[in-house]
């Protein structure tokens, strides 16, 4: 026979108190969990290095993709160097950063290896499931990671919600520490480009040169000796090396473009036999309907004679390009070379050509 007893008032109160305490604990845990999950994505975890080099990736990008995420620790450079030595990380690899850390020396050591290997740096996270949160897909490159990023030969600005910078505004002492100044100078970065703000914007990074979006500045060398002064312009970008030579002599100026795309590709484009032309700013010049480009070694070459009086248009243009047309401009092959960084050398070359082989003024209608 079972005896059922009704709980007294004191038992009811104690039970209610236990339930209330359990409910409060669950509420506190639910509030703490998002903060814990956010912190676990980076802080406290040694830097992890994932290498993606499957057939599809290499066919589309031509380079392995390397993802660095977590906290940049003292052992990170050694682990990265081991993957380079094993051949898993190749020269020219794309490095995607989603990291932080206070070990600035380790960040600089990674950056030096990026530069030595001709690697490109981006912000990015490893491939996420379709239903991953926006936070999981957002890359943050902070403190030591910023120094690593600056080691990239080609550096892309952050996009979307990705962010890069420092965890706090930089003081004068931090910016001008000897190790930082030495490293930035070796990377071709002036320390004042970083400014004093905590976070860097894409606009500031592009304007200051912290990011180059896959293209190095145009360079110029020349031989000004008579009777045929010669100027050599060179541009290196993620696709290869592009050159433009200009040689002036009495009655004629010769312009030659070399687009080093590799032997198979150069032959393929030349055999296509499309129209070829130079481009000064937005204007097409010296166009030839067919057969104006040829494959020489690993380069696609376009050569034209330019009226000497038209040399002023070339040296004053904001850019010069050389192209072989396709079905439309969207499918053409060639390059565009900005000229702002070599404006002074262009002027020196122009006046040297004028002294060596002066030309009569052109008609206003002549183009």
Closest listed residue to residue 197, CA positions, set 188, 209, 205? 205
Residue-range domain boundaries for the chain: 48-208, 219-356
- pLDDT value of residue 19: 41
CA distance 234 to 92: 19
Question: Span 1-5, mean pLDDT?
Answer: 42
- pLDDT value of residue 319: 95
Strand partners, 296: 299
pTM of the model: 0.76
pLDDT in tens, 108-154: 999 999 999 999 999 999 887 778 888 888 999 999 999 999 999 99
Closest listed residue to residue 125, CA positions, set 153, 145, 102? 145
CA distance 191 to 67: 27
Per-residue pLDDT band for 236 (boundaries 50, 70, 90) equals very high
CB 122 within 8 Å of CB 93: no
- Could you please state the CATH topology (level 3) that the domain comprising 219-356 is classified under: Immunoglobulin-like (2.60.40)
The C-alpha torsion from 177 through 180 and 185 to 191, rounded to 10°, is: -70
Task: Report the sign of the C-alpha dihedral through residues 340, 345, 348, 349, in that order.
Answer: negative
Q: Which residue has the tokens 């960084």?
A: 341
- Please give the structure tokens belonging to residue 256: 């030659």
* Fold agreement between 48-208 and 219-356: no
CB 237 within 8 Å of CB 219: no
pLDDT in tens, 322-336: 999 876 767 899 999
pLDDT in tens, 331-354: 899 999 999 999 999 999 999 999
Closest listed residue to residue 269, CA positions, set 322, 211, 305? 322
pLDDT in tens, 296-313: 999 999 999 998 999 999
Asked: is 48-208 a CATH 3.60.15.10 domain? The reply is no
Q: Does the pLDDT at position 235 exceed 60?
A: yes
């Amino acid at each position: 026979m079972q005896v059922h007893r009704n709980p007294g008032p004191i038992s009811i109160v104690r039970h209610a108190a236990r339930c209330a305490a359990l409910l409060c604990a669950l509420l506190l845990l639910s509030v703490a969990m998002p903060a814990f999950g956010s912190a676990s994505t980076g802080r406290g975890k040694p830097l992890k290095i994932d290498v993606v080099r499957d057939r599809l990736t290499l066919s589309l990008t031509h380079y392995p993709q390397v993802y660095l995420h977590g906290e940049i620790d003292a052992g990170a450079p050694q682990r990265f160097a081991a993957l380079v030595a094993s051949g898993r990380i190749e020269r020219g690899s794309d490095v995607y950063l989603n990291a932080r850390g206070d070990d600035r020396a380790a960040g600089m050591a990674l950056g030096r290896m990026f530069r030595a290997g001709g690697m490109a740096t981006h912000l990015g996270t490893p491939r996420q499931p379709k239903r991953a949160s926006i936070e999981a897909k957002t890359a943050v490159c902070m403190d030591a990671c910023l120094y690593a990023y600056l080691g990239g030969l080609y550096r892309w600005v952050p996009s979307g919600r990705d962010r890069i910078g420092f965890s706090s505004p930089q003081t004068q002492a931090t910016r001008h520490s000897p190790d930082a100044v030495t490293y930035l100078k070796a990377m071709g970065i002036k320390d004042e480009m970083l400014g004093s703000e905590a976070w860097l914007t894409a606009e500031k990074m592009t304007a200051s040169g912290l990011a180059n979006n896959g293209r190095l500045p145009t360079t110029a060398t020349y031989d000004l000796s008579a009777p045929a002064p010669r100027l050599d312009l060179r541009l290196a970008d993620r696709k290869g090396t592009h050159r433009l030579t200009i040689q002036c002599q009495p009655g004629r100026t010769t312009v030659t473009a070399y687009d080093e795309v590799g032997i198979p590709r150069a032959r393929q484009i030349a055999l296509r036999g499309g129209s070829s032309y130079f481009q000064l700013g937005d204007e097409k010049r010296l166009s030839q309907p067919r057969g104006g480009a040829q494959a020489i070694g690993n380069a696609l070459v376009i050569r034209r004679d330019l009226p000497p009086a038209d040399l002023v248009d070339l040296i004053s243009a904001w850019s010069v390009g050389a192209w072989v047309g396709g079905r439309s401009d969207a499918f053409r092959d060639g390059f565009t070379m900005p000229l702002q960084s070599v404006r002074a050398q262009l002027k020196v070359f122009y006046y040297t050509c004028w002294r060596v082989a002066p030309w009569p003024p052109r008609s206003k209608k002549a183009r």
